[in-house]
Structure 1
Amino acid sequence: MPTIGFAKIEGGPGEALKFVLKKLREEGYEVTFYRHHWAGDMPFGLVIAETNKGKVAVRWYLGREFTFKLEEVSEEAFEDFIDETLDYIGGD
């Protein structure tokens, strides 16, 4: 099953990507490929990864703390999660 996640990080897009990839490794995910999407004027972004455990998409937000949560979802919910986030980032 695909997995979605939510992360709150302190820093910027570079720190967010490092944090998400580190947390995925700690959870036993071996990332084989990833894409990172964000817009400079928005305090959030999306990391989409292909891993040894399947597809993962993590939406990150800027904040004053570090949190990380993952949950398995249906293929349809996974695609909706990505589409909604990318639409918002793109301003659609």
Structure 2
Amino acid sequence: MPYVGFVRSPHGPVKTYELILRELERRGFSIEFSKHHWAGDLPFGLVMAETNMGEVAVRWALGREFTLELEEVDKETYDEFVEDTIEYTNADSG
């Protein structure tokens, strides 16, 4: 089953991406492939990963400290989460 998550991070996009992947590995996910979507002028983005436990999509935004909430969802919910986040990022960036 796929997973979706929400992150708050006081860091920029590159460090946040690294922290998300590190936290997923700490929670038992083995990352096989990952990618990161964000618009340079927006304080949020989307990290997607293919893992040994299924697909993972994590939406991140700025916050006071690094926190990650993760939940298992069905494929339709995962696809909608990814599509909505990418649409929102693209609409606000241009």
User: What TM-score, normalized to structure 2?
Assistant: 0.94
1:32-59 deviation digits (Å, cap 9, x = unpaired): 0011000011110000000000100001
- Counterpart for residue 75 of structure 2: 75
Following superposition, which runs of at least 4 residues in structure 1 exceed 3 angstroms of deviation? none
Kept after mapping to 2: 8 A contact 1:4/1:71: yes
- Counterpart for residue 10 of structure 2: 10
**SS of alignment partner, residue 29 of structure 1:** coil
**SS of alignment partner, residue 91 of structure 1:** helix
Root-mean-square deviation over aligned CA pairs: 0.9
- Counterpart for residue 34 of structure 1: 34
CA positional deviation for 1:62: 1.0
Q: How many residues align?
A: 92
Distance in 1, Cα, partners of 2:22 & 2:8: 14
CA positional deviation for 1:63: 1.3
CA positional deviation for 1:82: 0.1
**SS of alignment partner, residue 21 of structure 1:** helix
Kept after mapping to 2: 8 A contact 1:7/1:61: yes
Return the letter of the residue paired with 1:4.
V
Unaligned runs of 5+ in 2: none
CA positional deviation for 1:60: 0.7
Distance in 2, Cα, partners of 1:63 & 1:12: 11
Unaligned runs of 5+ in 1: none
- Amino-acid identity (%): 50
* Counterpart mapping for 1:44-59 below 5 A: 44-59=44-59
